[in-house]
Amino acid sequence: MILTIYLIILTYFILGGIIFYYIYRNKEPEIAKKNRAKFISYFVIIHILFFSIVINPIVFHYLVLLIVIIGWAEVINLFRQSGFKRKRFFGLSVPVFLIISGGLICFSRTESNLILFTFMVVSIFDAFSQISGQLFGKHKLFPAISPGKTIEGLIGGAVIAVASAFLLRGLVADHRLNIFLLGSGIVIAAFIGDALTSLYKRKYEVKDFSNLIPGHGGFLDRFDGLAGGATFITLLDFFGI
């Protein structure tokens, strides 16, 4: 099963690489270079997380703690760089990020197959939302919050992620929810996590949280979807669903 999942990852990456080459082959060299860096860094991150889950989940737990710590540092740093503006908004954001952080940490200690399933669905959703948006995106989703996201990208990423959940159903065959509901819930929660971090950045009028990861908008920006999906799984466990 693990070998099959890894082959799915490689297949999707090869397909994504071909599509991105097609999209950016005639772009300016600087834009193409930035997107290559983003693709390569994403490839490395996915492999680190995948093998940490598969080989020793406790490593994934410690990686999650690192993600949470750096993510909070980025959130607080934007508030500080703004001159501590929008104090009310920051105050409302803190409990939201606390819930998401707690959900991600609790998720990192759950059963490894469920972790892997969630991680895969979120990763596929993230990747193919961008690919679908680049290929077919015409209608902006939230122009004021996240100008790069489109309705077509969201639909394309969601369809492929939920369809992929059926390929991965062997990991969660005994889960109380059926595969469609479980996969759809993870996708919706991942989208909400991404939207919340985008809103936070726009409120503080920045494009990126940091430049810690080449081509990405920061640590939190890279893992916001996973944090959202993880929180959904944690809430399911909490309510016994």
pLDDT score recorded for residue 195: 93
Sequence-separated (6 or more) residues with CB below 8 Å from residue 108: 57, 60, 61, 63, 64, 65, 115, 230
Give pLDDT, residue 230.
Answer: 97
**pLDDT given at position 152:** 94
Report the pLDDT value the prediction gives residue 137, as an integer from 0 to 100. 81
Q: Is the dihedral of CA 173, 176, 178, 180 positive or negative?
A: negative
Confidence at residue 215, expressed as pLDDT on a 0 to 100 scale:
67
Apex 80 CA angle, 78 and 83, nearest 5: 110
Can you tell me the distance from the alpha carbon of 217 to that of 213, in angstroms, rounded to the nearest whole number? 7
Q: What angle do CA 211, 222, 163 make, to 5 degrees?
A: 155
Query: According to the model, what pLDDT value does residue 98 have?
Result: 96
Local structure of 147: helix, strand or coil: strand
- 178: containing domain: 2-238
> Could you tell me the mean pLDDT of each successive run of 10 residues in the chain, 241 residues long?
87 86 76 78 92 94 96 94 93 96 96 96 94 87 82 95 94 89 97 93 87 77 94 93 81
Structural domain tally of the chain?
A: 1
**Could you give the maximum distance between any two Cα atoms of the chain, in Å?**
52
